Amino acid sequence: MPLSDHEQRLLEQMERALAAEDPKLASALRGVDLRTRQRRRAVIGAAVFVVGMVLMLGGAIMMTTGQSGFVAVSVLGFLVMLVSAYYVATSLRHMPAAGESPKVVPLRGRGQRPRGGQAKPSGQAKPRGRRPKPSGTFMQRVEERWRRRRESGF
């Protein structure tokens, strides 16, 4: 149900008063753009990737100088690079396109978890439920599928 004009004006006045009284709280309640958050995650992942590359090259340098432990340092560097590349790829995959309407995600402090029981917007993930257990043996199900294919003309 949309707010009336009077209610919208009251809400705007309360927002301005909150912003004037406590600007940090107001900015935290406003949230951050999802595109900005995903871009920040990608930059952090790229920086960690560079750290992994430095570790891997450091292991190679250790090998040429004859120091022990070069294999462990090189493998650690490779694993850091692998994990950070995955992190960057997932953050870029979830980044909305430039023309999309920006979604605002509320900021959470450290250690806070999302509250359970909040209603999810329609059109997102479907609730997971168990499928009904198939009846009959494996061969009976295969024969039934074959019969349905033949009847449909495939």
Distance CA 47, CA 106 (A): 25
What are the sequence ranges of the domains in the chain? 1-31, 33-97
pTM, full prediction: 0.49
Number of alpha carbons in the 13 Å side-chain half-sphere of residue 105 = 12
Q: What is the pLDDT of residue 85?
A: 95
b/e 100-123 (16+ beta carbons within 10 angstroms → b): eeeeeeeeeeeeeeeeeeeeeeee
Question: For the chain (length 154 residues), average pLDDT per consecutive 10?
Answer: 84 85 76 79 94 94 89 94 94 75 55 50 57 76 86 75
Give me the pLDDT at residue 51, please. Answer: 96
